[in-house]
Amino acid sequence: MSDNILISHEPASGEELWRGTRGDVDAAVSAARRAWPAWAALPLTERIGKLRAFSNEVRRQGDALAELIAREAGKPLWEARAEVDAVVNKVDISVQAYAERTGKKKFDSGVGASAAVRHKPHGVMAVLGPYNFPMHLPNGHIVPALIAGNAVLFKPSEKTPAAGEALVACFHTAGIPEDVIQLVIGGPDEGKALVAHPGVDGVLFTGSANAGIAINRKLAANPGKIVALEMGGNNPVVVIDTPKLADAAALIIQSAFTSAGQRCTAARRLIVKESVYEALMEQLLPLTRKLMVGDPLGEPQPFMGPVIDNDTADRLVESFLALLTGGGRALLHMRRSVPDLPFLTPGIIDVTDIPERPDIELFGPILQVVRVPDLDAGIAEANNTRFGLSASLIGGTPEDYGRFWANIRAGIINWNGPTNGASSKAPFGGIGLSGNHRPAAYYAADYCAYPVASTEMDQPRATINVGMRP
């Protein structure tokens, strides 16, 4: 088989779903550079109109798109439908964000003069998408970039190219020119070529910390290229005194095991006050055992589907065993529930007695438990990470939450809610290894256009009053 062919398989069955040819990065960039000036020159209302048509097209194809996401990414159909809804809703949110954060402003600046702030698009933007939300997350970059007047080259994850292809087809059906939003099929080589290409003005990335750091390092000597990195986390959920331990257990499960743990905001660490540990486990472990893991299109619908592929499942099982070997105590063993397919049951492991707990993102259904004596120790343990995306406190008083919020290092901080499920109407991003201070979602408008400050007069007026010979 030619190395130029990329194949996608369904995680739940192992069957081939899609195949296609790797993209030509140079040709795509050249076409985008030719196309973007005309797109940028369109009135904003026309660009918005075409994106509203895109939203309607996604809505029209909603059932088919949700089924494709479920089959290719392995997430249950109920969750895939929620992803399609997020794609639809992104347009209205992005229109509002563009007006609020990058709209035109004009104000007086001295006699007969005015000052203005307007925004210009960067040019050609490369969007590198992940497999866990193969439409929603890249769409969160693409829509605001197009509204601002950029052309976009979208490289979906090599694990979910079919979903990426379907998303781009919706843009084209809505009347957005084919060279303005292009699909670039490929793997790491094509991604690296897009990042390094001199004709690309910006790189918008969602994925692992290792890949994000490599992008940052590659572009360190090129400050003219805008870079937005969203890189995941080793997210803590901290539980202290609460009378509602059943609710706490449900929130923990939502945080740790939704999407089979394949969310950048998923809780990786459960930090529990020692005095509530036993009672919480009496709620959490039986509830977790009840979670259905199964075919994404099956009936009744499972809570979790498979992880993305067998290699990922193998690495997660090895990581669970490594934690056991290092001194962890299994509270709920992770199992491969279907031979030769990447279905994993949730694993929960107490790692309190591991002296050097690994600060890595285990991207799957593994929850590590750490016991602490009090809230302050819980905050210290929560901050014991190089990441800083999402954190949640369950239980406590408003004063406890105030202390938690003030001291936790994260871009998303919740109280009595899960670590995931962030609103698209708020900024989305983190600090440390979780991002580079360019949050997405509502604040994506900030990195899709740059501000231009102007002082303007209808006629030249100037005199020199100092330092002139008579």
* Phi, psi (deg, nearest 5) at residue 408: -80, 135
| CATH architecture, domain 5-231+435-455 | 3-Layer(aba) Sandwich (3.40)
Does residue 232 contact residue 263 with C-beta atoms inside 8 Å? no
pLDDT of 461: 85
* CA separation for the pair 203, 207 (Å, rounded): 12
Q: What is the pLDDT of residue 3?
A: 84
Judge whether residue 112 has pLDDT over 80: no
Q: What value does the mean pLDDT take over residues 13-33?
A: 98
Percentage of the chain modeled with pLDDT above 90: 94
Each residue's pLDDT tens digit, 113-168: 889 999 999 999 999 999 999 999 999 999 999 999 999 999 999 999 999 999 99
Predicted local distance difference test score (pLDDT) of residue 170: 98
Q: What is the pTM of this model?
A: 0.97
What number of other Cβ atoms are within 10 A of residue 94's Cβ?
27
Q: Could you tell me which CATH number the domain at 235-415 has?
A: 3.40.309.10
The reported pLDDT for the residue numbered 231 is 96
Per-residue pLDDT reduced to its tens digit, 320-347: 999 999 999 999 999 998 989 999 999 9
Residue spans per domain, the chain: 5-231+435-455, 235-415
Is 90 exceeded by the pLDDT of residue 109? Answer: no
Beta-bridge partner residues of 336 = 344
Give residue 2's pLDDT band: very low, low, confident or very high (50, 70, 90): low
Q: Residues 80-107: pLDDT tens digits?
A: 999 999 999 999 999 999 999 998 888 8
Cβ-in-10-Å burial (0-12, 13-18, 19+) of 2 comes to exposed
| DSSP per-residue codes, 186-232 | -SHHHHHHHHH-TT--EEEEES-HHHHHHHHHHTTT-TTSEEEEE--
Total residue count of the chain as it appears in this document = 470
- pLDDT surpassing 60 at residue 19: yes
Phi/psi for 163 (5° steps) reads -65, -40
Amino acid (1-letter code) at residue 125: M
Catalytic residues: 230, 264
**pLDDT > 80? residue 111:** no
At 456, give phi and psi (nearest 5°): -135, 135
Percent of the chain with pLDDT over 70: 99
> Does residue 60 register a pLDDT over 80?
yes
Q: Alpha helices of 291-427 — where are they, by DSSP H?
A: 310-325, 375-382, 398-407
pLDDT at 191 over 60: yes
Mean predicted lDDT score pLDDT of the chain: 96
Task: Judge whether residue 354 has pLDDT over 80.
Answer: yes
Tokens 């994404």 locate to 296
Res 205: pLDDT: 98
